Copies of this chain bind each other. A is one copy, B any other.
Amino acid sequence: MNISDASRSSGLPAKTIRYYEDIGLVRPARGENGYRDFSETDAHKLAFLGRSRSLGFSIEECRTLMSLYEDRSRASADVKAVAAEHLERIAQKIAELQALQSTLQTLVTRCHGDDRPDCPILDGLSGEEVAQ
């Protein structure tokens, strides 16, 4: 199938698929006219990549997951390790964002938000103490 079909079936933009070929994540065959010719397996791999990326795995992690996916003798523990590490990063990111949210919420709540110029948000950003 052509790249637009591969795009439809995987949900990835054609540009992204070409990029994935560039960096060696997929290696579709080529027709006589130079067009990429994706097999079902290729399409399946692209969908796998799309799902992995949408779960927030980096390209390099996707590369690892792909090779584990293609390795019929891999141990599930190897996969679990990649995923667990990623889970930890997600948890940490959530905690960071929640801290930001709390600080910013405090500032926003304090700001009366009217026509007057004094503003606790700018005061907070300019260095005054921000109590939680």
Q: Which of B65, B91, B101, B112 contacts A90 (CB under 8 A)?
A: B101
Contact B83 A114 (CB under 8 A): no
Contact B65 A125 (CB under 8 A): yes
Nearest-neighbor residue (CB-CB) of A73 within chain B: B117
Segment with Cβ contacts to B, from A14-22, A24-32, A45-53 = A45-53
* A interface bracket (residues with beta carbon within 8 Å of B): 35 or more
Chain B residues positioned under 8 Å from A77 (CB to CB): 113-115
Nearest-neighbor residue (CB-CB) of A52 within chain B: B125
- Secondary structure class of chain A's binding surface, majority of residues: helix
Interface residues of A in 82-132 (CB under 8 A from B): 83-84, 86-87, 90-91, 93-94, 97-98, 100-101, 103-105, 107-108, 111-122, 124-127
* A76 to B124 alpha-carbon distance, docked (Å): 13
Chain B residues positioned under 8 Å from A8 (CB to CB): none
CB distance from A64 to the nearest CB of B (A): 11
* A107 to B69 alpha-carbon distance, docked (Å): 15
Contact B127 A48 (CB under 8 A): yes
Contact A90 B117 (CB under 8 A): no
Contact B83 A108 (CB under 8 A): yes
Contact B44 A114 (CB under 8 A): no
CB distance from A83 to the nearest CB of B (A): 5
Contact A48 B119 (CB under 8 A): no
